[in-house]
A and B are shown apart, each in its own frame.
Chain A
Amino acid sequence: MALIQKSIKLSQVLGRRQNIKLLWPTTTSAKTHFQRSYTSVPSAQFPGANAPFVNTLKLTQPEDFSPIPIYRVMNSDGYIIEESQDPKLEKEVVEKMFRDMLLLNTMDKILYESQRQGRISFYMTNFGEEASHIGSAAALELRDIIYGQYREAGVLVWRGFRIDQFIDQCYGNDDDMGRGKQMPVHYGSKELNFVTISSPLSTQMPQAVGAAYALKRRPDNDACVVCYFGEGAASEGDAHAAFNFAATLSCPVILFCRNNGFAISTPSREQYRGDGIAGRGPAGYGITTIRVDGTDVFAVYNAMKAAREYVLRENKPILFEALAYRVGHHSTSDDSTAYRPAEEIEVWNSVEHPISKLKRYMVHKGWFNEEEETEFIKNVRKQVLKQISVSEKKLKPNWREMFEDVYAEMPEHLLQQRKELEQHIADHKDAYPLKEFKQ
């Protein structure tokens, strides 16, 4: 009896629920099926996702999603494509952009050569990616904190890092702020808010997210964090950690991927099968995403302006993918023609090169002056060459500094080890290159 009553009650309840509205739109066929079989059963509310039911099996395919489009402002001929997108930067700003890109490019060429001559131990150029450095840096404030990978020297150029500072770091001499402890191109500057580079890939990504979280908590915060990384680095576990922490902990960080098609010899098609790095943002991690033409300095600039405003307004991250092409070799320890055709490189080194594009824009504007450019490059070459000869003559830091900054204060055992080395060196002066080091 009780059982029958219960079933009657249940049918009444179910009857009342027949008019329940679907919370989410479904396909027509799914809706029909739903109404036929399950109209009276309330939907389960899974905590793990907010999504509708379907009643036919459908595999979600990568092809079901359109690729995220590439935002571009200027075409290869240096013309603004859509007037409304012209950032209308002042002549002085555009000239600084151009000069900084030229400076970086010229310095790279000479330092690359000086490594081939054995004058510095290692170097990495920035060829082909100058616009993503300069365009992004120009859209930021100096108080914004930068975490980089190693191929972002242009950001430092824009911020005012000097030629002597670059070259002193590469030589690890006594004027290197890093005190000669790291390999060349591992730059850092406290006053320019550029966190010292380290070799392990992607480790800076969750760090940048943590820094952004700490900034967010400061009263009246008006600074964000920008974290640069390559598309290869985005395969590391730390990249996943960073995307997910940035989203769940709502951090004002711009996660800036330089997708240049190669991680050393590995082409991007062997790096991932999704829609680049940008494709991971919206559906994957719930991060607002931008994809731009990284050879177009104005596109990068506009997008970074918007990204900065967004992360500070919303206290949320942005995933930013700048597509470019690594024109140079990976590093001085790499010959890239071993894994890609020289003709391919040539296209990106001429027609599609970021500096060429900006130059064409300036020509149309009547802002370009051939003589000035030649003079500027000549001048930079002179400065860089002179600085190389100055930097290589400078003494390296006192070798005792090897024991410093391991800890905030030097612990007893390190004091002892330093003393042991002092004694050893005193006894074997001729065995060590003491003349090259400060005493």
Chain B
Amino acid sequence: MNLSQHILSGLKSNVSAISKLQSWTSCRSHFTYFKTRVSGNGNLKKMNMFNAINNAMDLALQEDKTALLFGEDVGFGGVFRCSVNLRDKYGNDRVFNTPLCEQGIAGFAIGVANTGATAIAEIQFADYIFPSFDQIINEAAKYRYRSGGLFDCGSLTFRVPCGAVGHGALYHSQSPEGYFAHTPGLRVVIPRGPIKAKGLLLACIKDHNPCIVFEPKTLYRAAVEEVPTNFYTSELGKADILRKGNDLTLIGWGTQVHVLLEVADLSKKHLGIECEVIDLVSILPWDRNTICNSVRKTGRVIVAHEAPYTQGFGAELAACIQETCFLQLEAPVKRVTGWDTPFPHVFEPFYLPDKHRCLAAVREIFNY
């Protein structure tokens, strides 16, 4: 009995077990949170994701006297509490509200960074980043290139809450990373929880390129981990292998990582499939080596993201994997994503690439 036959037989005998999982409960979130743990001797403190981001910005403002934090409503602590207490601690000239104008926030941030000062700019929701698209795409991303390196805005970081939240509908749920991934000159990262959020944010603040940190807002309170209290950075451009496996590679980022970790558990339990789960972390530039090495090993891959299917970042991964790992692929690259519709309100449970859809895709890949 070869591997796929074994899995297929396992699949049949476990149908009833799987269907039990499918009863959608009134639970607001579509995922179960998997904690990241750190080893080492440093001081750890229990933090949720907004605490960890707050802690990162506190350290950044403390260490770098030029660092500024601004955006809509950041002064009183931010609508997601990420900047709470920072204005009291560092003063109104360093932590302040701007007028309600995203193109202004982005342009202002670029100008601050042009002088070499550090700018941490908040766009209140990723859904509202589009008015600043021109400043980010035509200006921030191209500053160094177009000036032959005379000028840059490398000391700027955008923090942008993104992703599904249960009831955010069209304009409080979007995952626009794909739009930005098409723009040379930017760094785009997405954390999966508090430890990563702090490390990535500090790395972006330190990095000499304009960075966007998309923060899955559903994790702000839901994700709690033991976070190191010291200053540390998480490597940019590097994916994390969260679970080793030889049968199938599951790739996601942000909240979707937790969906995939649960799918890996379910695949093992019910299908006998060992999934390798990878958090891509960095959307641009992204970690081709980690992804392609994994796919070369497993021969099967599923990419899952909340954003719509067509031209989502999954398409880039699929194309690159196909080009790089053609001879090792045992099945087509499968993408499980949001549908090609705007993000709906009451239909959210049917829209998301939840564990059931991902698990069905695992089955499909092994039936291929």
**A binding-site residues for B, Cβ under 8 Å:** 145, 147, 176-179, 181-182, 186, 188-190, 195-196, 198, 200, 203, 205-215, 217, 225, 237-238, 240-242, 244-245, 248-249, 404-409, 411-413
Contacts and interface: CB of A to CB of B under 8 A. Distances in A.
Contacts of A211: 111-112, 114-115
A206 B151 contact: no
Contact of B103 (A147, A206, A413): A206
B163 interface: no
Nearest to A178: B148
Nearest to A198: B146
9 contacts: A200-B134, A207-B110, A209-B107, A214-B117, A237-B101, A244-B101, A244-B104, A245-B98, A407-B185
Contacts of A205: 107
B108 A182 contact: no
Given A178-B148, A196-B151, A214 B111 contact: yes
Contacts of B150: 177-178, 188-190, 196
Nearest to B93: A217
B107 A188 contact: no
B111 A210 contact: yes
Nearest to A182: B146
Nearest to B286: A413
B2 interface: no
B107 A405 contact: no
Contacts of B107: 203, 205-207, 209-210, 238, 241-242
Contacts of B119: 210
A217 B66 contact: yes
A146 to B, nearest CB: 12
Contacts of B168: none
B148 A245 contact: no
Nearest to A186: B146
Contact of A245 (B104, B113, B147, B151): B104
Contact of B138 (A203, A213, A248): A203
Helix, strand, loop or mixed for chain A's interface? mixed
A215 B68 CA distance: 12
Interface of B: 66, 68, 93, 96, 98-99, 101, 103-104, 106-117, 119, 131, 134-135, 138-139, 142-152, 154, 184-185, 187, 207-209, 237, 285, 288-289
Contacts of B115: 145, 211, 214-215
Contacts of B101: 237, 240-241, 244-245
Contact of A406 (B108, B151, B184): B184
Contacts of A207: 107-108, 110-111, 114, 139
A200 B139 CA distance: 8
B99 A188 contact: no
Contact of A206 (B135, B142, B145, B207): B135
B146 A413 contact: no
Contacts of B143: 196
A242 B101 CA distance: 10
Contacts of B185: 406-407
A133 B15 CA distance: 78
A267 B184 CA distance: 37
A214 B99 contact: no
Nearest to B236: A411
A122 to B, nearest CB: 15
Contacts of A179: 148-149
A299 B185 CA distance: 43
B131 A237 contact: yes
B147 A412 contact: no
A240 B135 CA distance: 14
B98 A249 contact: yes
